[in-house]
Chain A
Amino acid sequence: MDAVVSTAKLNSNEIFDLMKQFITEVIGEEFVEEMDITMESSFTKDLEMDSIEIVSFSEKIKAHFGEQIDFTGWLSNMDLDQLINLNLGTIVNYIEECQ
Chain B
Amino acid sequence: MAKFVFIVPPLTGHINPTLSIGAVLLRRGHEVAWISLDKSLALRLPEGGQLLLIEYDESDQQKQDSEKYLDIITKKIVYGIDSIKFLYEEVLIPLNRHSYEGILTLLDEFKPDLIITDHQMFAGAIAAANKNIPYATSVTAPAAIKVMDELPKIHEWEVNQIVALQNELGIQSENSIACSDLLTMVLTSKAFFGEMELPSNYQFVGPVIHKRAGQTAFDWQKLEQSEQPKVLVSIGTTFDHEHKKSFFAKVIEAFADEPLTVVVVSEPSLFEEWPDNFIVQRNVPQLELLPHLDAVVCHGGHNTVCETLINGLPMVVVPIAYDQSHVAGRVVRVGAGLRLNFNRFKSRHLKEAVEEILNNSDFKEAAQKMSASFEEAGGTETAADLLVQLSAVRYVEVLNN
Chain A contact residues, CB within 8 Å of chain B: 27-28, 31, 44-45, 48-55, 58-59, 72, 75-81, 83-84
Contacts and interface: CB of A to CB of B under 8 A. Distances in A.
Contacts of A52: 325-326, 328-329
Contact of B325 (A45, A51, A59, A80): A51
19 contacts: A27-B341, A28-B344, A44-B79, A44-B80, A50-B341, A51-B81, A51-B151, A51-B154, A59-B150, A72-B150, A76-B151, A76-B152, A77-B153, A78-B151, A78-B153, A79-B157, A83-B151, A83-B154, A84-B81
A35 to B, nearest CB: 9
Interface residues of B, number: 23
B80 A51 contact: yes
5 tightest Cβ-Cβ pairs between the two chains A and B? A50-B325, A80-B157, A50-B80, A52-B329, A55-B150
A83 B148 CA distance: 13
Nearest to B344: A31
Contacts of A53: 341
Given A49-B80, A52-B326, A79 B153 contact: yes
A76 to B, nearest CB: 5
A75 B79 contact: no
Contacts of A27: 341, 344
Q: Is the interface of A mostly helix, strand, loop or mixed?
A: helix
B238 interface: no
A83 B82 CA distance: 9
A91 B325 CA distance: 23
B81 A44 contact: yes
Given A80-B157, A83-B81, A84-B85, A48 B344 contact: yes
B144 interface: no
Given A27-B341, A84-B85, A48 B79 contact: yes
B168 to A, nearest CB: 20
A45 B79 CA distance: 9
A80 B81 contact: yes
B153 A54 contact: no
A69 to B, nearest CB: 15
Contact of A80 (B79, B85, B149, B328): B85
A28 B345 CA distance: 10
Contacts of A59: 150
User: Which of B84, B319, B326, B344 has the most chain A CB within a 10 Å cutoff?
Assistant: B344
A44 B153 CA distance: 16
B343 interface: yes
Interface in B133-171: 148-154, 156-157
Contacts of B150: 55, 58-59, 72, 75-76
Nearest to A45: B82
A31 B343 CA distance: 11
Given A27-B344, A50-B319, A50-B325, A55 B151 contact: yes
A95 B222 CA distance: 59
A33 B246 CA distance: 21
Nearest to A34: B344
Interface string B56-89: 0000000000000000000000011110110000
B344 to A, nearest CB: 5
Given A53-B341, A75-B150, A77-B153, A84 B82 contact: yes
A76 B152 CA distance: 6
Interface in B308-326: 319, 325-326
Contacts of A83: 81, 151, 153-154
